[in-house]
Amino acid sequence: MIRILFILAFLLCSAIALGCIWMGRQTVVTYDSQFHKKYFYYLVFFYAYAFYALWGPFGLRELMLFGGMQPETVNNTARWLPVLALPFAGVGWLLYSTLGFALAGSRKVPGHTIGVVAMAGLMLPVVWIFSYLNAVSGDVSDPAWPLVLAGAALWPDFISTAFVVGALLLRRKKSGGRPNRYAMRFAWGVALALILRIVGLGLITRESFLAAPGLLVYFLSAALPFLYSYRVSDRLFQPVFPETTHKGKLQHLIETYGITPREQDVIEKICEGKTNRQIADELFISLQTVKDHTHRIYSKVGINSRLKLVQLLNG
């Protein structure tokens, strides 16, 4: 029964990770935004770390036990995987710490951000881990080892989250006006994600059947703020659009691929840099109808994103 629970949790975690990464890639080719590019790469590194550091030990234990190795050897070997996954986490945390500045509209991330995250966020946990290993003579079978790893993962996560929320709050203070409610909701979503990761790691360190829901909570923690940003991107960012639309290329595309007059209207709005929501408002149609039109346009032309359509029509 416990094995089935872990299999289901693994399938759900895989679906969450692949779905978020695929959707993240879609935002990169739809919006000309540093925020989406950084978020996409953060998701890649976050889930790489999560699979390697959190699911890796469970998978390695199963393989080694199946091969007839001693349980003590298996556990000691598996407990090293989170340390080996730290480079993935380090890159992810550095990217994560810059999201607040990107969402606030800053083209350049202050240099001290990277410095503080790198030194306080990354170096201190590494020093802590190796100080602990030195104290126990490298014996990772010690019951405190999982807690040491959890603390090493949560500290830089806390630092990065503080930079995301802090950058958005600072932007609010400097503007002197009402904050963008979508950006502030994203900030609180990021804070909630940290709380979920604390809960998830707490369950995982129990090393019992509770680890399965803990892993699922950990994977969901990164998905929730991302899904919110995905949902409201139309309200915060302008999609990519050609600098100048080549009329000849547009007419050729219409004649060659059998584009209908209504689909032509949608293409022209896309070339103006309109979001799907703006297109729906200006053409007096529903948002879903706009999505249906764009899907048919992409299918007829043989492309899969706004970026490729823009490249075809760019003068």
Average pLDDT for 296-302:
90
Angle of helix 2-30 relative to helix 211-236, nearest 10 degrees, comes to 20
Rounded to an integer, what distance in angstroms lies between the CA atom of residue 92 and that of residue 290? 35
Rounded to an integer, what distance in angstroms lies between the CA atom of residue 262 and that of residue 166? 45
With 70 as the cut, is the pLDDT of residue 301 above it?
yes
Cβ contacts of residue 171 below 8 Å, gap of 6+?
100, 104, 105, 106, 179, 183
Per-residue pLDDT band at 178 (split at 50, 70, 90): very low
Mean pLDDT of all residues belonging to the chain:
83
Question: Which parts of the chain fold into alpha helices (H)?
Answer: 2-30, 34-49, 56-66, 71-78, 81-84, 86-97, 99-103, 111-116, 124-135, 145-175, 181-204, 211-236, 247-257, 261-271, 276-283, 287-301, 306-313
pLDDT digits (tens, 9 = 90+) for 264-273: 899 888 888 8
pLDDT digits (tens, 9 = 90+) for 52-101: 988 888 777 766 655 666 666 666 667 777 878 888 888 898 889 889 88
Q: What are the backbone dihedrals phi and psi of residue 245, each rounded to the nearest 5 degrees, phi first? A: -85, 125
With 60 as the cut, is the pLDDT of residue 173 above it?
no
Cβ contacts of residue 292 below 8 Å, gap of 6+?
none
Average pLDDT for 154-172:
83
Task: Give me the architecture of the 247-313 domain, per CATH.
Answer: Orthogonal Bundle (1.10)
pLDDT for position 176: 46
